[in-house]
């Protein structure tokens, strides 16, 4: 796990990218997918994830459908059309930020 200060500000971008890539997903699924892709380096915490999902929904970037799996509720999130644009924006913003940081820190980042 990273000293996750760095994660601040990137969480929503990560979440939306997952939805962009995999279509509708539920919260727990997102945490597991991100954990898997990052080889356990990024573990989204519930206390951060759920409020973020709710905020994105309130902002109009996500919609939800509730499903019952047995007796257990599962809440699926998907990107709205606005959300589809937003995630592209977010990713570009992140890429630009990294470019600037590479310049400042004088580093080359390797492919992961």
Residue 17 · residue 62 · CB < 8 Å: no
Residue 78 interacts with a second copy (CB under 8 A): yes or no = no
Residue 1 interacts with a second copy (CB under 8 A): yes or no = no
Residue 76 interacts with a second copy (CB under 8 A): yes or no = no
19 binds, among DNA, a second copy, none (CB under 5 to 8 A by kind): none
Residue 105 interacts with a second copy (CB under 8 A): yes or no = yes
For the CB of residue 98, give the shortest distance to a second copy in the complex, in Å: 5
Residue 59 interacts with a second copy (CB under 8 A): yes or no = no
Question: What's the sign of the alpha-carbon dihedral 93, 97, 100, 103?
Answer: negative
The DSSP line for the chain is ---GGGGTTTHHHHHHHHHHHHSSEEHHHHHHHHHHHTTTS----HHHHHHHHHHHHHTTSEEEEEEEETTEEEEEEEE-HHHHHHHHHHHHHHHHHHHHHHHHHT--PPP-
The piece of 23-31, 61-69, 78-86, 104-112 that touches a second copy (CB under 8 A) is 104-112
Residues of this chain that interact with DNA (CB under 7 A) are 4-5, 7-12, 26-29, 32, 44-48, 50-55, 69-75
| Binding test (CB under 8 A) with a second copy, winner from 19, 25, 34, 56 | 34
Residue 103 interacts with a second copy (CB under 8 A): yes or no = yes
Which of 51, 41, 65 has its CA nearest to residue 12?
51
């Amino acid at each position: 796990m990273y000293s996750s200060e760095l994660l601040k500000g990137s969480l929503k971008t990560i979440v939306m990218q997952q939805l962009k890539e995999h279509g509708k997903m539920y919260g727990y699924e997102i945490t597991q997918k991100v954990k898997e892709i990052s080889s356990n380096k990024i573990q989204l915490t519930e206390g951060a994830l759920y409020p973020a999902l709710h905020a994105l929904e309130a902002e109009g970037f996500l919609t939800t459908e509730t499903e019952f799996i047995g007796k257990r509720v599962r809440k699926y999130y998907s990107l709205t059309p606005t959300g589809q644009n937003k995630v592209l924006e977010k990713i570009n913003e992140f890429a630009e930020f990294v470019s600037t940081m590479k310049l400042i820190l004088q580093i080359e980042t390797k492919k992961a």
